[in-house]
Amino acid sequence: MPMSKEMKGAVVPDPKQPDRPPSARPAKLICCRVMIDELMPFLPEGTATEVVEISLHIHPDQLREHLQRAIDASDGIYDPIFLGYGLCSKAVVGLVARNSRLVIPKTDDCIELFLGSRQARIDQLASEPGTFFLTQGYIGDGASMVFSEHERAVARYGEERAERLIQTMMSHYKRLVYIRTAHATSLESDREYAHAMAARFRLRYEEMDGTSEWLGQLIAGNWDDRFVLVGPGERLELRHFTD
């Protein structure tokens, strides 16, 4: 279930005053759970946050609807509204705020963010196309998207057929890479989980260091060509991520 929270000490503006200039409004972060641990150290005290569960990625249209509702509830009250997402199967295409700016990393997904650049991911997949990436955010409470999908398949098809489906889904992967993110706090338990997943699907296990620099720049306001910034009334479009 998606969860929403206001950071301790947040000053929540009066929603009846959405016409205040952007400079007078506090910022808000609407973020996928995968990224929140890496973003939290960069957030100024009082920044409002809304954390959305990763399971919505399975249905991009539902994720888009959820994000638009979250934006609508924050529109004109906060500025800017940071989106802790990438293009994410085009789930962010069409999002709009009428009275606030939206800022989002210009990336296909969060793996590029954690590796530091789009080129870094291209290079990794060029050397090993069948790579499955994991981070602390993906592992979370031990229910990554793969195993969440497996649970749904078990409920629908039964254990035996569900196991065949998940094995088929993972069959084109040859390597599992655990990205050690900068602010990971559960390295040993993450490793245990990642090793178990690699063993289950007969994947070669590797680790590599990640970075939070790109995410830090999002919050700091250093919005270069690695970010998409749209003004009030302007929709996020696919071209923003591909130009």
In a shared domain, residues 33 and 122: no
pLDDT over 90 percentage in the chain: 62
Check whether residue 19 and residue 78 sit in a common domain.
Answer: yes
- Give me the pLDDT at residue 14, please: 44
105 pLDDT tier (thresholds 50, 70, 90): very high
Which of 143, 137, 148, 144 has its CA nearest to residue 186?
137
pLDDT of residue 9: 34
Residues 27 and 80 both lie in one domain: yes
**Where are the strands (E) in the chain, listed by range?**
3-6, 28-32, 48-52, 81-84, 102-105, 131-134, 175-180, 204-209, 227-230
Residue 81 has pLDDT above 70, yes or no: yes
> What pLDDT score was predicted for residue 145?
58
- Poorest-confidence range of 24-38, 70-84, 140-154, 192-206? 140-154
pTM over 0.85: no
At 44, which amino acid appears?
Answer: P
Residues 135 and 57 in one domain: no
Grade residue 175 by pLDDT with cuts at 50, 70 and 90: very high
* Percent of all residues in the chain with a pLDDT value above 70, rounded to a whole number: 84
Q: Based on the fold, state whether residues 124 and 190 are members of the same structural domain.
A: yes
First to last CA, the chain: 35
pLDDT at 16: 40
Instruction: Mark residue 133 as left, alpha or beta (left: phi above 0; alpha: psi -120 to 50; beta: remaining).
Output: beta
**Co-location of 160 and 186 in the same domain:** yes
Higher pLDDT, 75 or 20: 75
What is the Rg, in whole angstroms, of the alpha carbon atoms belonging to the chain?
19
Instruction: Say whether both 104 and 159 belong to one domain.
Output: no
Enter the DSSP assignment of 75: B
- 64 and 24 share a domain? yes
Whether 109 has a pLDDT exceeding 60, the answer reads: yes
Statement to judge: residues 91 and 150 lie in one domain = no
172 lies in the same domain as 205: yes
Q: List the structure tokens of 233.
A: 């009334």
Residue 38: domain span: 3-110+213-242
pLDDT digits (tens, 9 = 90+) for 205-240: 999 999 999 999 999 999 999 999 999 999 999 999
Instruction: Indicate whether 9 and 79 sit together in one domain.
Output: yes
The mean pLDDT value of the chain amounts to 85
Asked whether the predicted pLDDT for residue 86 surpasses 90, the reply is: yes
Q: In total, how many domains does the chain have?
A: 2
Beta carbons within 10 angstroms of residue 51's beta carbon: 19
Judgement on whether residues 122 and 97 belong to the same structural domain of the protein: no
The predicted pLDDT at position 75 comes to: 97
pLDDT tens across 24-64, in order? Answer: 889 999 999 999 999 999 999 889 999 998 888 888 999 99
**Where do the DSSP E strands lie in 57-203?**
81-84, 102-105, 131-134, 175-180
